[in-house]
Chains A and B, each alone.
Chain A
């Protein structure tokens, strides 16, 4: 350990860029990015499940509003959504005097709202596809057992849909991590914000951005492995039997 420490100190001794201060900025940025992405994915997931069920409903007054929502949020760039929620809302007269301003004043919540609504829209569509692809036989079997609509949804349709949605959802998680890089345009000091700060401070684009790219890469690896593990566990029954 001490050797490692000495080696690390030597490694950092010769450069002006990666000082304790800038490493601190990156660490702070990592915390911000993780917080934003995890929270938005979590809330997005909770929103997406009921929305996906509604979206697969046959009632037009349930189905179409949800379709409109996913269409709008999937049809516009996340950057634009973020701009509207952060910069746009201030043009609503008198908003500073309402309780809404408590949420909208600092950049964190507007970014969280934009990310959540965006990922919820994508996740809704992923789950809807998975629900729609439920094998007919499973539904017929459930009906034959006399299950009610709700029970069938809870016991048969959703568990099987979640499994099918897993690989696509894993992609969405990775996309969300990468999409969070735009948080720095609304002054959040996320990973990319830290990299832009270091870049601007030392005029060293390679060092600043390669370093942050490596961090994103590590995070992506973590997510990949998590999902591979989940798929192994949950989709074991789909593996070819040997």
Chain B
């Protein structure tokens, strides 16, 4: 039975690969929930999040309908290839390994990192001058660790933690002057769960690429080049007309 399934899946993949590209009037998105704030369910069960809203806005721009299918992460690319849906928009980081199987749109988002400090901290803009002699907390081996080490390792002490929990504990204890974290992680552990004890310092950081990567892309089947191009064009339009910024602000705006 299993063999039969494999064979039929394989032939389906081959057929899909050779079939003619078609015009879509409905695009079905595959998405893995929850991953706040990118994609998650509201209390009433509706899907929402940055990916979902941006995806819908892109479809509106192109003039097609879109629907969302929830799919577990480990089966999300096989599901695309097996035509359960036509695209994946689920905070998928663009990388070469995935490029072998799917076609990516232009990156639509790079998860930002941010500096967090106690609310009474005097640091306003993180720089070599302001961080000199301070103690910076990072999670060991993260891209934030690499960035902070290269930028400020020579002037500041860098404390590396295995878990974000240990780091928050030391921040509470007053052992750290400032921490550099993935923004959603920092928001949920430092901003949301503490009553105003912490604040964001400076701007969010998602450049340069060397540290922060290629960002998230929408994945399509390789033959759907036309569709991917339509989405790329729509993304450019949304970035120009301010829709993208509005969404970005909605999900990543920080209360100062």
Give the tally of cross-chain contacts (CB within 8 A). 38
In the complex, the answer to whether B140 meets A87 with C-beta atoms within 8 Å is no
Q: Are A187 and B160 in contact (CB under 8 A)?
A: yes
- Judge whether A105 is part of the interface by a CB distance below 8 angstroms: yes
Q: By the criterion CB–CB under 8 Å, are A200 and B172 in contact?
A: no
Is B108 part of the binding interface, using a Cβ–Cβ cutoff of 8 Å?
no
> Which residue on B lies nearest to A187, using beta carbons?
B159
List 20 other contacts, CB 8 Å, given A90-B174, A106-B175, A185-B166: A87-B169, A90-B169, A90-B172, A90-B173, A96-B174, A101-B174, A105-B175, A107-B159, A187-B161, A187-B170, A189-B160, A193-B160, A196-B140, A196-B160, A197-B140, A197-B160, A199-B141, A200-B141, A200-B145, A201-B145
Residue B69 at the A interface, CB < 8 A? no
Give bound CA distance, A189 to B138, whole Å: 13
Q: Which residues of A contact B (CB under 8 A)?
A: 87, 90, 96, 101, 105-107, 185, 187, 189, 193, 196-197, 199-201
On chain B, the residues within 8 Å of A189 by CB distance are: 160
B145 to chain A, nearest CB (A): 7
Contact of A96 among B161, B162, B170, B173 (CB under 8 A): B173
* Shortest Cβ-Cβ A-B pairs, 9 listed: A200-B141, A90-B173, A187-B159, A96-B174, A200-B140, A87-B169, A105-B175, A187-B160, A196-B140
**B161: which A residues are within 8 A, CB to CB?**
187
B141 → A minimal CB distance (Å): 3
How far does the Cβ of B153 sit from chain A's closest Cβ, in whole Å? 9
Q: Nearest-CB distance from B211 to chain A (Å)?
A: 12
Question: Judging by beta carbons under 8 Å apart, are B174 and A105 in contact?
Answer: yes
Can you name 28 A-B pairs with beta carbons within 8 Å? Answer: A87-B166, A87-B169, A87-B173, A90-B170, A90-B172, A90-B173, A90-B174, A90-B175, A96-B173, A96-B174, A101-B174, A105-B174, A105-B175, A185-B162, A185-B166, A187-B159, A187-B160, A187-B161, A187-B170, A193-B160, A196-B140, A196-B141, A197-B140, A200-B140, A200-B141, A200-B145, A201-B145, A201-B146
Contacts of B173 in A (CB 8 A): 87, 90, 96
Could you tell me the distance in whole angstroms from the C-beta of B158 to the nearest C-beta in chain A?
9
| Interchain CA distance A202-B169 in the complex, whole Å | 28
| Residues from 165 to 206 in B contacting A, C-beta threshold 8 Å | 166, 169-170, 172-175
Q: In the docked arrangement, what's the CA distance between A80 and B41, Å?
A: 39
A196–B141 Cα distance when bound, in Å, is 8
A201, B145: Cα distance in complex, Å: 9
CB distance from A21 to the nearest CB of B (A): 9
- Alpha-carbon distance between A196 and B174 when the two chains are bound, in angstroms: 25
Bound complex: CA of A118 vs CA of B214, how far in Å?
Answer: 48
Q: How far is the CA of A106 from the CA of B173 in the complex (A)?
A: 11
Query: A196 CA to B159 CA in the complex, in Å?
Result: 13
User: How far does the alpha carbon of A71 sit from the alpha carbon of B160 in the complex, in Å?
Assistant: 33
Bound CA–CA A147/B206 (angstroms): 78
Q: Which residues of B contact A185 (CB under 8 A)?
A: 162, 166
Which chain A residues lie closer than 8 Å to B146 at the CB level? 201
- CA of A87 to CA of B170, assembled, Å: 7
Chain B residues, CB < 8 A from A193: 160
Give the distance to chain A from B101, nearest Cβ to Cβ, in Å: 22
Tell me the smallest distance from the CB of A208 to a CB of chain B, in Å: 11
CA distance A185 to B160 in the complex (A): 9
What chain B residues lie within 8 Å of A87 (beta carbons)?
A: 166, 169-170, 173
- The answer for the CA separation of A105 and B170 in the assembled complex, in Å, is 9
Chain A residues positioned under 8 Å from B162 (CB to CB): 185
Most chain B CB atoms below 10 A, which of A187, A193, A199, A200: A187
Using Cβ atoms and an 8 Å threshold, which residues of chain B touch A105?
174-175
Q: Roughly how many angstroms separate A201 CA and B170 CA in the complex, as a whole number?
A: 23
In the assembled complex, how far is the CB of residue A182 from the closest CB belonging to chain B, in whole angstroms?
Answer: 11
Residues of A within 8 A of B175 (CB): 90, 105-106
CA A77 to CA B85, docked complex, whole Å: 52
